[in-house]
Structure 1
Amino acid sequence: MVQLSKALLTLIFAGIGAIHFYWAFGGVWAKQLAIPTTQNGVPLLAPGFSDCVLVGLFFAALLLLNTMAVSKFMSLLLERIVWVIIAFIFLARAVGDFQYVGLFKQVKDTTFAYHDNLYFTPLCLFVFSLIVVKLFVR
C-alpha cells in the first residue's frame, strides 16, 4: 500500500510540476481553467513566469523528496515532519478560502468553480490521503 501511495504521489507531483513549467514557458492549455475568477469572470490571480516556475520547482522538490532516500540528508523525524506539513498544505487547499476555492467556497457558478469541484479539490484530498498512507501505514 505504501509503495502504491509513493508511486501515485510521484505521478501526481511530476504531472503538476510539468504543467506549471509548461505554463511558465508560454503554454496556455488549461491555464485559464486553473485560475479562480469572480462571478463576473475577473481573474483573481495573474500568474507569470516566475510564479509558475516557483510552483513547478516546489513540485519538483516534492518529487525528489518522495522518490529519493533523503534520510542521508535529514533524520527520519524531520522527514516525517516535512511530510505532515505538506499534507496539511494540501488539506488546507482542499478546504479552501471559503470564498472562491475549495470545499466551502461561496462562488460556485464560475468555470473555475466547476473544475475546482471536479478536479482540483478532490485531487488535493487524494494527495492528502496518499501522504497519510505513506506516513502511517506500514
Structure 2
Amino acid sequence: MTLFVIFKTILGLVFLFLGLLHFYWLFGGKWALKTTVPTKTNIKNQFKPPVLATILVGLGLLFFGFFFWYRIDTSFNWPTLVNDYLGWIIAGIFLLRAIGEFNYLGIFKRVKGTDFAKMDTHVYIPLCLMIVIMITIIELLIGL
C-alpha cells in the first residue's frame, strides 16, 4: 500500500467522522460538545453556532472526505480546476484554523485556561496540522 493510498484513506475517514459528528450535534447529540466552542471561561460559551453553519460545515467536511477518497480513482473524473487546486485550498483552510484568530483558538490564542483551549492545544491544532501535512504530501506526490 502506498503512502498516497494510506493518507487519502486516513483523510477520508477523518473527514467522514468530523462531518457526521457535526450532524450528530445538529440533532441534539452532546458527546464532545462542551469543548467544541471557544469560551472566555469554562462556564459560558461565547456563541452557539447557527444551525445553517453547522449543516454547511458538516456537508463541507463530508465533501472533503469524498474528494480525497476519489482523488485518484480513474473512474471518477473531477473537473480540472477542482482536481488541480481543491486539495491545496483545503490544506489552506486547515492551516488557517491551526494558526487561529489570535484570541480563542489556534496556535497564537490568548485565552489558554479553558477546557476548549486545552482541547484546541492538544487535539484540534495537531489534527489540523496533520491534515495539512498529509494533504501537502498527497498534492506533491500527484505533481511528480
Q: TM-score, normalised by structure 2?
A: 0.87
Equivalent residues in 2 for 1:92-111, closer than 5 Å: 92-111=96-115
Q: State the match for 1:45 in structure 2.
A: 47
Match for 1:118 among 115, 118, 122?
122
Match for 2:132 among 121, 128, 133?
128
CA contact (8 A) 1:13 1:59 kept: yes
| AA of the residue aligned to 1:74 | P
Q: TM-score, normalised by structure 1?
A: 0.91
User: Which runs of 5 or more structure 2 residues have no equivalent in the other structure?
Assistant: none
Shift of 1:121: 0.6
| AA of the residue aligned to 2:45 | P
Match for 1:86 among 65, 87, 90?
90
Count of paired positions: 137
Equivalent residues in 2 for 1:7-46, closer than 5 Å: 7-39=9-41, 41-46=43-48
User: Percent identity of the aligned residues?
Assistant: 35
CA contact (8 A) 1:98 1:105 kept: yes
Match for 1:72 among 53, 70, 77?
77
Shift of 1:71: 5.9
User: Which runs of 5 or more structure 1 residues have no equivalent in the other structure?
Assistant: none
CA contact (8 A) 1:24 1:48 kept: no
Counterpart Cα distance in 2 of 1:96 and 1:66: 24
Match for 1:62 among 53, 61, 64?
64
Q: Which runs of 4+ in 1 moved over 4 A?
A: none
| AA of the residue aligned to 2:39 | T
| AA of the residue aligned to 1:132 | T
The farther-off stretch of 36-45 and 54-63 is 36-45
| AA of the residue aligned to 1:81 | Y
